[in-house]
Amino acid sequence: MTLSGQRPLVIAFAVLAASLPFARPPVFKIGAAPVQLDDLLIGVVMVWSVVTIFRKRVEWRFRVDGLLATSLAFLLALLVSALLGKQIPLQKSLIKLAAFSAFILLPSASQYVLRTEQDLVTVVRGWLIGSISSVTVGVAGVVGFYVDRPGVGKMLACSTYGLLPSGNYPRLCAAFLNPNMHANYLTVSLALALSCGAAIAPTWVVFGLIGIGSMVAAFTLSAGMGGFALAGAVSFLAFLEAKKRAPKAFKIAVYTAAGLAAVFFALTMIADWVPAGDGQVRVGERDIHFWASARPKLWAGALKTWVDHPLVGLGYGSDVSFQTDPKVLFSPDQIKALNGRPFEGKFMEAHNLWLNVGAQSGLIGFGLFVALVVQLMSGVPAMLRTSKEGKKLPLLPDGVFAAVVGALAYHGIFGGFEEARHTWVLLALLTATKRVWLNSASPSEAGRG
């Protein structure tokens, strides 16, 4: 059972999880940098955690393990990159790094703070409460777009359609800064709702909310919907297997459908429709041209930056992909409005988690980031094999694993989520779940990890 003196800290952790979908409006700004509610809460949680861990360091047998050592080394690499970078002011880069540091260290702290399954239940409840709030805001955005477009609709929709053509439909940002972040967060929420929701609320309520949330996610118009499908398939089949309702043929069908959805959304990111004769594959009266759309051009620009700054990168916090192609810089509507007028190229983010890290911090930072990911994922197979009997949230390991697959392994290819607040809270939940599950495992189960 959680010690009484530690329970308020666990609740603070849950409040942090509940606050994640509210990135705008900011609480205040430091210069031009917005400070979100979760930025303030992570500061409180981390200071509180450090003080608590220090006070109980002997009782909890605190040590600098591989995860903490790698996290600190990665932060040091980012600091060196910030000090040597020249694209953005040093003060801005250091402020950004100071805020990011708290999130990177959160997984290390979570394995000491979230020590029991009841602690995990509390944090998952917090996340799901935030998810319900986010879905509610999303529904208001969809309804508002058609009922009160200049007011609520404009407030909750994205300011532009990105590279998509505008139309009589919203592209939802809700309370997020961009639609891809919105879709990524909902991917994690889907996995946690499918794996843990029925242990907290009636099943019909959970699946009703999942249906509404899926509609909201669709209005993000994001390639992240491929990850949404993968996370949903993994967690849904885990739910059915727990009830012994997942025949092999059905599992194959679900995974095939999710895989096809993932491939489809990936193709929308790397291929364009072009006139017949200009592409590689003929479909009807037009061709598909692979590797000619915005994402591959952004990736190529980031790779060039990385090659130009191989060891320590362009600098932490920098945009790393220089672009001059109007199809990358502007939406179709904006290109029409240009009407042939000249424009300047500019640096953009890579829209890829791995390339953002590599081009910003070079080979040194990238290598340490890969090592950090390995540390975070170590023990996951053993966690998934651990007995579920007697657990309050028996499918939580499957849920966090499904979330990592959909939101990071898949969607991270097409978006930069290495600094997303919900990414690191998810990884903290994964780390704490591993520790709690493996500590409860039999010696034979733990040994198979």
**What are the tens digits of pLDDT across the range 211-229?**
999 999 999 999 999 999 9
Distance CA 85, CA 93 (A): 9
Strand partners, 275: 286
Q: Between 437 and 6, whose confidence is greater? A: 437
Q: Do the beta carbons of residue 313 and residue 358 sit within 8 Å?
A: yes
Q: Roughly what angle, to the nearest 10 degrees, separates helices 421-439 and 7-19?
A: 140
Residue 6 has pLDDT above 90, yes or no: no
159 CB neighbour count, 10 Å cutoff: 9
Q: How confident is the model at residue 389 (pLDDT cuts 50, 70, 90)?
A: confident
Whether pLDDT at 5 is above 70:
no
Structure tokens at 15: 């409040």
**DSSP of 64-78, one letter per residue?**
--HHHHHHHHHHHHH
Is residue 33 predicted with pLDDT exceeding 90?
Answer: no
φ, ψ of residue 296 to 5 degrees: the values are: -60, -35
Comparing 196-200, 216-220, 229-233, the range with the smallest average pLDDT is 196-200
- Residue length of the chain: 449
**CA 440 → CA 60, 124, 293, 429, distances in Å?**
16, 19, 49, 17
Which carries the bigger pLDDT value, residue 5 or residue 194? 194
- Assess whether pLDDT exceeds 60 at residue 443: no
pLDDT tens-digit readout, 312-359: 999 999 999 999 998 899 888 788 888 778 888 999 999 999 999 999
Task: Kindly indicate the confidence band of residue 445, based on its pLDDT and cuts at 50, 70 and 90.
Answer: low
Residues contacting residue 439 through CB under 8 Å, at least 6 positions apart: none
pLDDT tens-digit series, residues 49-85: 999 999 998 888 899 999 999 999 999 999 999 999 9
Average of per-residue pLDDT across 266-287: 87
Q: How many CB atoms lie within 10 A of CB 68?
A: 17
Specify the pLDDT at position 296.
Answer: 95
Spatial distance between the Cα atoms of 444 and 449, rounded to a whole number of angstroms: 9
pLDDT of residue 4: 43
Token output for 5 = 């003196």
Instruction: Please tell me the least confidently modeled range out of 46-55, 157-166, 211-220, 414-423.
Output: 157-166
Q: What is the pLDDT of residue 200?
A: 84
pLDDT of residue 250: 94
What's the rounded mean pLDDT across residues 15-31?
A: 92
Q: Which residue has the tokens 């509940």?
A: 18
Burial 37-53 (b: 16+ CB within 10 A, else e): bbbebbeebbebbeebe
3-class secondary structure, 288: strand
Q: Are 240 and 411 in contact (CB under 8 A)?
A: no
Q: What is the Cα–Cα distance from 307 to 47, expressed in whole angstroms?
A: 38
**Averaged confidence pLDDT in the chain:** 92
Token readout for 101 is 């540091």
Residue 414 near residue 183, CB atoms below 8 Å: no
DSSP 165: P
On the CB side of 366, CA atoms within 13 Å amount to 20
pLDDT at 217: 97
Q: What is the pLDDT of residues 101-151, one digit of tens each?
A: 999 999 999 999 999 999 999 999 999 999 999 999 999 999 999 999 999
Phi, psi of 133 (to 5 degrees): -60, -40
Question: Model confidence at 441, in pLDDT bands (50, 70, 90)?
Answer: low
Phi, psi angles (nearest 5°) of residue 146: -95, -20
- For 283-308, the pLDDT digits (tens) are 888 888 888 889 999 999 999 999 99
pLDDT at 103 (0 to 100): 95
Sequence-separated (6 or more) residues with CB below 8 Å from residue 96: 33, 316, 317
The pLDDT score that the predictor gives to residue 292 is: 83
DSSP state of 348: E
Q: What is the pLDDT of residue 2?
A: 45
